[in-house]
Structure 1
Amino acid sequence: MTSRLLLVPPAIGPALREARFYDGSSSIDGAIRLTATDVPEAARVVLSPGARCRDTAEALGLRGTEAAALAPLDAGRWRGRTLAEVSETEGDALAHWLADPEHPAPGGESVHQLCTRVGHWLETLPDDRTTAVVEPDVVRATVIHALNLPPAAFWRLDVPPLTATELSGRSGRWNLRLGRPLGGQ
């Protein structure tokens, strides 16, 4: 059998628009003009913990459970602050964190740690269809792990809101289809 995973990043909200390190509380903007019929039926739906993913799943008519392994990248003491604020007060630490996937955010985690955490989750997927409404950094980490890319590629993967990134595979070998709009062919 083959595992199939559909990754859906949440709708845009204030935290994404303001380039704010996510703290789990910010939600999404307005109404989503999609329905669950725009997302293929799945045996299970899982979510990144936090309001954005919960609200997006609800707006799509999906009922799922939060998975701690799919939590977004932990920015530590930068949570809730904008990128500009952190750059102004801790520019050197931010630059080091962005440049070195092994370097953790102060009080948080590194990109490498996120990719490892999400990779462990990916390797335990059952052989059926899963839909995951997850933060963009979780989509990046999943793709990094699935394709065995270097963690340094993490910040070079662009993940638009409400798109579909699809992985299918078995025995640790994954194929990727990315970036189609939800509801599209």
Structure 2
Amino acid sequence: MALKWTALGALPSIDMKPDYFAGEYLAVAGAHDDRYRDAIANGPNLHTFLSKFEGSHGQRLRPSLLIRSDAYPERPNSEAISSFMDIVIACVVLDVRVRTVTWRRNVGPFYADSFEIYPWMITPDGKRLVAQNAALWAVHELDKFRGTASAAVPVQEVGREATHPRFFKQLHAIWKSHLSTDRTAGRRVPFSDR
């Protein structure tokens, strides 16, 4: 049975091309990915929300998405999300930095800031926007929204040549093992805050 994917957050400064930054619970997907299209189909007004992103000079953007599957019914906690994103960042940024030094030119996202999750996201019912992080909790209307990429880092394409799928697979296995075990009770509890 195919997994159902749901968007958790937008990454407007990344154009993700590879489709292997994924596991059965979380993934970072670009617009060409079937999981991305599934998330749009499962998110009321998500397409409208994503279509409102622009670069600093008015160019249209198609943000990549952090998505979750229905393989586990609970929403992933902040530790699961941030550590998953750390794995993706490590598999991209470290290699880009090596290639940049070797080739003496930037060939992709050089900083982790490129992977910043946009603070605003559409609610699951598609009726409002919510911003929730350490500095902000707010609600707004979708029709007035205008999303932007980071002003500090350029929008970067993440291509296959500057990433390590095997490194990701190994780190992902450790991530999954760590986050799916309640060490005190010895039972599996993926992504809960218990």
TM-score range, shorter chain: under 0.3
Give the TM-score, by structure 2 length: 0.26
TM (norm. structure 1) is 0.26
